[in-house]
Structure 1
Amino acid sequence: MAESSGLGVALCLKQLSDATFLHFKNLLIKEPELQVNPVLCANIKLASRKGLITLLHAYYPGQVWDIMSRTFLQVNRRDLWTKVQELRRDKRTYKEIMKTAFHHIWTFEDNLYVLDAEYEVVTGMQYKVLQEVFDPELKPVTAVILGAEAIGKTTFLRKAMLDWASGNLWKNRFQYVFFFSLVSLNSTTELSLAQLLLSQLSASSETLDDALSDPRKILFILDGFDHLKFDLDIRTNLCDDWRKTLPTQIVLSSLIQKVMLPESSLLLELGNPSIPKIYPLLQYPREITMGGLNKASRKFYYMSFFSSYQKGRDIFNFLKTMQPLLSLCRNPYMCWMICRTIKGQCDRGEELNLVYEPDSALYTSFMVSSFRSVYDNHPSRQNRARLKTLCTLAAEGMWKQVFVFKSEDLRRNGITEPEQTSWLRMNFLSYRGDCFMFYHPTLQSYFAALFYFLREDKDTPHPIIGSLLQFLREVYAHGQTQWLRTGMFVFGIATEKVAAMLNPHFGFIPSRDVRGVIFNCFRNMNQEEFSKTLRAQSLFKSLFGNKEEEFVTQVMGLFEEMTVDISNVDVLTVATYSLLRSQKLKKLHLHIQERVFTETYNPRDGDIETFRRHKKCSFMTNFGDGTLFHTALQLPHLTSLNLYGTNLSNDAVEKMCSGLKSPTCNLEELLLGKCGISSNACVEIVTSLNLGKLKHLSLVENPVQNKGVMVLCKILKDPSCVLEKLMLDMCVLTTACCADLASAVSTCRTLTRLTLDWVTLDHHGVELLCEALTCRGCSLKVLGLDKSALSEESQKLLQDVEKKSNLNILHYPWVKEENKMRGVRLLWNSKNWS
């Protein structure tokens, strides 16, 4: 539950064998003085050593020392009874305990191989913000640490915790800083904030009352939201009582939404999966973005990792010849993993050879190199069976959304004690108190994916782990985004390149069969019209992690319509790769998230909200020099493009129109609702209307104004224009544009639908339109005037025109009045109307 686990009383329990610990718990359950109820009984039976301490503190506050002492004597462990008495007499302060715990973590677990001074240079800007963001006025602050996966967010927070405990950070600001790794809570269904705090305070000389005496001086550091299985998007049933035992998600949501202990401050680690879930719940969050290791730090890292500086320098120079691989080393975890892989090759006297594309190949290089360090001379059949037990543990944890495992979990999945030692030695697993975790969450995802390649038809079905087909549908149709990394690894391991790396050591890897399952899964999703539920961006990321041209083209060829959410430049790059390989795509819906346009916050820019309002938020400014339009509009089968709600500058419109003029562009429907299209931008748009392709143009909710309509009307009179539908709802139009509209309507032979909803016209303007509507050359069949301000005289004139012509005039109030007009109000859906 906390980074400080394994200290104090927990150390005593850890010295009990599993059998003795089970006997210890049974004695507690039968203890008459404790009066254990059925719920507590069940919890005690399931509790780990550390979890047991937390339970006892929650149910028997102030009695834990006595309970532990009595029970140690009952299991004939007087040595542990003596140790408890010593701990009881010689408790240290909470700060001292945290200093010891986090010094151990920083020294032995983070594998940075970078001196403290060097690390402070690398993270200097972020560290400065961390100091400044929590002002000394004791006002509650919520701050978030952002950055790519494995970029070092958790390491940064651990260093901050160590510096606070050492007296080097927030000296006069926070009296108590609590660091919680949330993955430990996935198996905890209910708790209280008091229990959570006691899990860290219990070994110290301070009490809960001491810690909560001034909530303004408390900081909660919460790490691991990406892997938390609970949904915290709760707006009701929140609670302000920190003593009350509640469902875990209620307690956490109440804390981060400032309902519980609102005077305290928060420092949260958020990765890309958790940002859309957690960020909206926060009150005025301040952002700190991690950027990874710079070039000098990477060089120093390699020189420090290997046995000699010269060897480290030589390896760094070798990596410089592979720029993509060197770029990956900005990520501290990837840097460590690459070093481990290279060291294994050097120790075996092999020539340096690192396969780094796709990502799965790099993880496979690391895994195979580490595995060979222990089991190099064992038969592949034994290696396969041995590795399969670890992969089964990973896959079971994924399906159960569990990241912390007990000893019995390892035994149940066939992992023997010698193998457990080997996995720890290889850094596949690591200790978390008296439990285990995969060394990094991405490693669990990798081994979970590998499970589907190692299991065989003769294997007994696992009661928890679903089939590969079930897994694919959960990720790509049902939105299990926390499993996406595993999905990306499945796509990557399914390449012939990665299979060839695994075959010599673990036997046949059925990569072709897995690719067949993937293809059939998406083909069936398409046939069942699952396109609207398909998580396109998840698919794009996975195809990008495969990069086998034939396979990617084959999968993309299944889709005629897609909806794509663009959230940052990296997402754009990934989407571009897949879209360029689409052969049948006809409709593309693009959603541009507002958050894309917010640049990294810098305190020098002042208040974050003011910063956001004043920064230019142009689609093309943030997405490169026309890359998206160039890519999308080159697709020969693309006939519909919906950009509703995307802010387009005049320059962006110019680039879009340039794409529309391409000979390979066959777009027929262009929906530009609420895109900030000005009258000046209309000049560019009309240049694409005389190419004989575009049939439906929507400019609704844009400041087109009369000037823009005048330009559009000129091109409507051009014989080369084949536009059939023009939508100008809520475009700030007045009577002044009616003459131009009337001229265009009476001339254009193809225009059959014109909508002018929410327009204000005087009677003279309506007369001009009605005159045009009765002209022999008018082809208009539908005129939309819904919610428009018209006089009774104008309404009567329009009614008369409708009776005399084959015309449907849509106006909501008239439909209500005894169907005076033949038309009925249409409820236009987003497919036909923006």
Structure 2
Amino acid sequence: MITTPVESCTGRWLVPRMSAILCLSDAPHYTPSPEISPNALRARTEKSRWADKALLANQVGEAEMADSVQQQLAQTLELMTKEQLKEFQQLLHDQDLCKQSPGVPTTQPEKVDSMEVASLLVAQYGEQQAWDLALQTWEQMGLNELCARVQKEATLESGITEKYSKESGEMPCHTRSWKNEDIQQKFTQLLQRSRPRGYDFPLWMRKHGGTDDHKHLIGVGELFGPGHGTQGKPLTVILHGVAGIGKSTLARQVRRAWEEGRLYRDSFQHVFYFNCRELAQSRTLSLAELISKDWAGPAVPIGKILSQQKNLLFILDNLDEPKWDLKQHSSEFCLHWSQQQQVHTLLGSLLKKILFPGASLLITARITALGKLIPSLKQPRWVEVLGFSESARRDYFYTYFTDESQAIKAFSSVESNPALLTMCVMPLVSWLVCTCLKQQIDKGQELSLTCQTITALCLHYFFHILQVQSLGTKLWDFCSLAAKGTRQGKTLFFPEDLKKHGLDEDITSTLLKMAVLQEDPTSLSYSFMHLCFQEFFAAMSYALGDELISIKSMKDLVGQYEMVSVFGEPSTCFLFGLFSEQGMREMESIFKCQLSWKKRDNLLKLAKKQVNRTQQNLQPSCWDLLHSFYEIQNESFLTEVMSSVPEMRICVQTDMELLVFTFCIKFSQLLKRLKLNEGGLHGEAQRPSHVILFSLGPFTDAWWQIFFSIFSVDGSLQELDLSGNFLSYSAVQTLCEALKSPHCHLKTLRSP
């Protein structure tokens, strides 16, 4: 059957999964019917229950009711009879929101179960609008009891929120600090895996190869619960993820929630939190001394506390930061809790279960550092922190801005910048964006944030919001301090460290007021407000320096010994961003100097060599390379380097990965065929120049908007296979606009 994408994908809110081939060379141009504007839809739903729900205390407090919105909607739909569910679908089909395009034949709703109905509703309209549309339809059907039940649950949630706010005495702050953890972690997605990220999905794969990696989303309360498909409970859980994704904040929240009796009270009698960044300042410790540092309760003999191993949880935050060697020989391990040992030996004994084999461990680490941890771990559970979902980003804005009208304006401005909205998957980026927009609002300025990369956002924040350039020549010294610390794996700085770099008490006080630095509460030392901030200023120091870029200097920059690890470090990504055309202009304006173009060229040559090396060895570091390439935004370089890329089979897990992938791959001149979401890693043999893209899904409208950006530059893609995927009406509109692009040379489109 030959059909247009509009005929196969619009006019219904439920789309049949049908195979269709569109020969674009023979197809007429179609103009989709106008849809209700996003602003009009937002006006109907901004005061809905899901905007209110964004104000709940925190994610940990909701851990035990961590079902997704889709699941909650499906559970409500299950209360309906089959006849009512069929009527529900028909009414949705007939409503204005779901009217079909003119000329498209009417199709009756399919007989599907409640979960599929909920899935399609959420995928097409988003969480807020799906609930509002469902409520409106139930009212139209006269299902008053069902409506009352849903509204009662919403009222109960609001009451819990109000009660918590009164009891805790916590009121929303006018100025949100990065340390306000409640508004960061309640929306974060957690993905349980059977193996660590980066060891199973190499980017460029010339041969077919399956994986037994099983993945599913979980809530915080399930971290130490029975595994998926097994009754076993883990003793070690590794929270891993990219820089700025919220790992440490989540770890602190687990400890806090346990103290308040909201999490793991039945599982653990004692929970101890240790920041390995701070522990690295000590040379030797016993476990007893370590516990005493974190003990805030009444005096109890250490031996009594440690007598029940199975009731203990040790949280080891930032275990990957210090330059520790955790691969000790068996003779070096600590065998008793009172024994004095070097800190890394003590921690290594806990990891290998030599000391307290029955105790539980919760460890946070960056993905790029997992290699040095794996040999020391005993049957860990791998949980990747994915950051904010699309709807959670909106909820975050509503929590950051206590004034609802400001939240609406701020989020609307970000929605107009798809790349920026995508980067907000990272809690750190969401906070930076909200902080920048808050200042514009307070100054009565027009809301505008045009940043396309994380480097550009940091430049805007530090030099347009905080005005760090007011430090004058001392800014050079501050960058030098950050770079030296990064090379040495040092994140805590004492007053003498600052003085050695020419930073006196006045400069330190200014940096504290700007919230670039923070004072450590337990010792007279300072650290950057976030480790990524230190890595950003370290990259600036390297860009400003005279040393030419080489393999050795790159290793020195990030303090790594293996080249494969270098491109995964934030300092490297920031360096690429600073050597973009925009980055170089801003740097030269700030520091009143000329940056070295030769240095930039050497960086690109080094990256190209790494691409060639990666293709041959199938290293899992290619996501890091692509992220660096995205930051530099150099089209001529990308056209050259991506045109040498062979066939690939790649799985994206977040919108950020999709953004990076689509931006880079669209410059490939060899890409002829692209297949989306084949449904498994084992599939038909690849044809020449064939790329297969997998995703955890579901695909939202924003996801499709990013994906179809592959047609924004002149490319070589001739065949696109979307069969088996759901496209909403809005997604089809986006596709049709992309097909009209003069850069689109597509000949065949296989649509749902």
Equivalent in the alignment of 1:225? 319
Q: In structure 2, which of residues 417, 422, 439 is the aligned counterpart of residue 327 of structure 1?
A: 422
1:153 paired with 2:247, answer: yes
Relative to structure 1, the CA distance from residue 274 to residue 520 in structure 2 (aligned partners, 3 Å threshold; closer, same or farther) is: closer
Equivalent in the alignment of 2:164? none
* Separation of aligned partners in 2, 1:523 and 1:114: 40
1:142 paired with 2:233, answer: no
Equivalent in the alignment of 2:491? 403
* Separation of aligned partners in 2, 1:528 and 1:330: 31
* Separation of aligned partners in 2, 1:371 and 1:213: 51
Residue pairs, 1:524-539, within 5 angstroms: 537=622, 538-539=624-625
* Separation of aligned partners in 1, 2:375 and 2:452: 35
* Separation of aligned partners in 2, 1:386 and 1:451: 12
Residue pairs, 1:769-784, within 5 angstroms: none
Q: In structure 1, which of residues 251, 256, 261 is the aligned counterpart of residue 351 of structure 2?
A: 256
Q: In structure 1, which of residues 442, 447, 463 is the aligned counterpart of residue 537 of structure 2?
A: 447
1:353 paired with 2:448, answer: yes
Cα distance, 1:290 vs. partner?
A: 3.6
- Asked if structure 2 preserves the Cα contact closer than 8 Å seen for 1:525 and 1:531, the reply is no
1:546 paired with 2:593, answer: no
Can you give the 5+ residue segments of structure 1 that lack an aligned partner in the other structure? Answer: 1-98, 586-617, 635-663, 666-834
- Asked if structure 2 preserves the Cα contact closer than 8 Å seen for 1:469 and 1:517, the reply is no
* Separation of aligned partners in 1, 2:511 and 2:647: 42
* Separation of aligned partners in 1, 2:322 and 2:681: 32
Q: In structure 2, which of residues 163, 171, 179 is the aligned counterpart of residue 110 of structure 1?
A: 179
Cα distance, 1:436 vs. partner?
A: 1.5
- Asked if structure 1 preserves the Cα contact closer than 8 Å seen for 2:316 and 2:362, the reply is yes
Q: TM-score, normalised by structure 2?
A: 0.55
Q: In structure 1, which of residues 492, 496, 499 is the aligned counterpart of residue 581 of structure 2?
A: 496
Cα distance, 1:148 vs. partner?
A: 4.2
Equivalent in the alignment of 1:486? 571
Cα distance, 1:185 vs. partner?
A: 3.1
Relative to structure 1, the CA distance from residue 489 to residue 419 in structure 2 (aligned partners, 3 Å threshold; closer, same or farther) is: same
- Asked if structure 2 preserves the Cα contact closer than 8 Å seen for 1:405 and 1:437, the reply is yes
1:213 paired with 2:317, answer: no
Cα distance, 1:363 vs. partner?
A: 1.6
Pick which of 532-541 and 399-408 moved more. 532-541
Relative to structure 1, the CA distance from residue 131 to residue 158 in structure 2 (aligned partners, 3 Å threshold; closer, same or farther) is: same
Relative to structure 1, the CA distance from residue 387 to residue 343 in structure 2 (aligned partners, 3 Å threshold; closer, same or farther) is: farther
SS of the aligned residue for 2:367 comes to coil
SS of the aligned residue for 2:251 comes to helix
* Separation of aligned partners in 1, 2:270 and 2:677: 44
* Separation of aligned partners in 1, 2:388 and 2:645: 40
Relative to structure 1, the CA distance from residue 255 to residue 450 in structure 2 (aligned partners, 3 Å threshold; closer, same or farther) is: same
Equivalent in the alignment of 1:417? 505
Relative to structure 1, the CA distance from residue 553 to residue 294 in structure 2 (aligned partners, 3 Å threshold; closer, same or farther) is: closer
Cα distance, 1:177 vs. partner?
A: 0.9
* Separation of aligned partners in 2, 1:103 and 1:209: 40
Cα distance, 1:196 vs. partner?
A: 1.9
SS of the aligned residue for 1:361 comes to helix
- Report Cα offsets for 1:503-556 as digits up to 9, x if no partner: 433323516243123145568999999987999624443223212112334567
Equivalent in the alignment of 2:459? 364
Relative to structure 1, the CA distance from residue 419 to residue 533 in structure 2 (aligned partners, 3 Å threshold; closer, same or farther) is: farther
* Separation of aligned partners in 2, 1:628 and 1:481: 32
Cα distance, 1:354 vs. partner?
A: 2.0
Cα distance, 1:338 vs. partner?
A: 0.7
* Separation of aligned partners in 1, 2:689 and 2:330: 44
Relative to structure 1, the CA distance from residue 622 to residue 400 in structure 2 (aligned partners, 3 Å threshold; closer, same or farther) is: farther
- Asked if structure 2 preserves the Cα contact closer than 8 Å seen for 1:192 and 1:242, the reply is yes
Equivalent in the alignment of 1:505? 590
SS of the aligned residue for 2:519 comes to strand
Relative to structure 1, the CA distance from residue 564 to residue 514 in structure 2 (aligned partners, 3 Å threshold; closer, same or farther) is: farther
Relative to structure 1, the CA distance from residue 519 to residue 144 in structure 2 (aligned partners, 3 Å threshold; closer, same or farther) is: closer
* Separation of aligned partners in 2, 1:177 and 1:104: 28
Instruction: Say how many residue pairs are matched.
Output: 487
Cα distance, 1:450 vs. partner?
A: 0.7
Cα distance, 1:313 vs. partner?
A: 1.6
Equivalent in the alignment of 1:293? 388
Equivalent in the alignment of 1:128? 221
Equivalent in the alignment of 1:394? 482
Identity, % of aligned positions: 24
SS of the aligned residue for 2:633 comes to coil
Q: In structure 2, which of residues 274, 278, 288 is the aligned counterpart of residue 184 of structure 1?
A: 278
Equivalent in the alignment of 2:88? none
SS of the aligned residue for 1:498 comes to helix
- Report Cα offsets for 1:435-492 as digits up to 9, x if no partner: 22211111111111011233469xxx9xxx9985664797696344497221111111
Cα distance, 1:289 vs. partner?
A: 4.3
SS of the aligned residue for 2:272 comes to strand
Matched AA of 2:633? K
Residue pairs, 1:637-648, within 5 angstroms: none
1:173 paired with 2:267, answer: yes
Relative to structure 1, the CA distance from residue 281 to residue 536 in structure 2 (aligned partners, 3 Å threshold; closer, same or farther) is: closer
Residue pairs, 1:676-687, within 5 angstroms: none
- Asked if structure 1 preserves the Cα contact closer than 8 Å seen for 2:420 and 2:452, the reply is no
Matched AA of 2:278? S
Q: Which has the higher contact order (CA 8 A, sep 6+)?
A: 2
Relative to structure 1, the CA distance from residue 535 to residue 472 in structure 2 (aligned partners, 3 Å threshold; closer, same or farther) is: farther
Cα distance, 1:192 vs. partner?
A: 3.0
- Asked if structure 1 preserves the Cα contact closer than 8 Å seen for 2:248 and 2:317, the reply is yes
Relative to structure 1, the CA distance from residue 346 to residue 508 in structure 2 (aligned partners, 3 Å threshold; closer, same or farther) is: farther
Relative to structure 1, the CA distance from residue 159 to residue 190 in structure 2 (aligned partners, 3 Å threshold; closer, same or farther) is: same
Relative to structure 1, the CA distance from residue 623 to residue 495 in structure 2 (aligned partners, 3 Å threshold; closer, same or farther) is: farther
- Asked if structure 1 preserves the Cα contact closer than 8 Å seen for 2:512 and 2:518, the reply is yes
Relative to structure 1, the CA distance from residue 477 to residue 271 in structure 2 (aligned partners, 3 Å threshold; closer, same or farther) is: closer
Q: TM-score, normalised by structure 1?
A: 0.50
Matched AA of 1:543? F
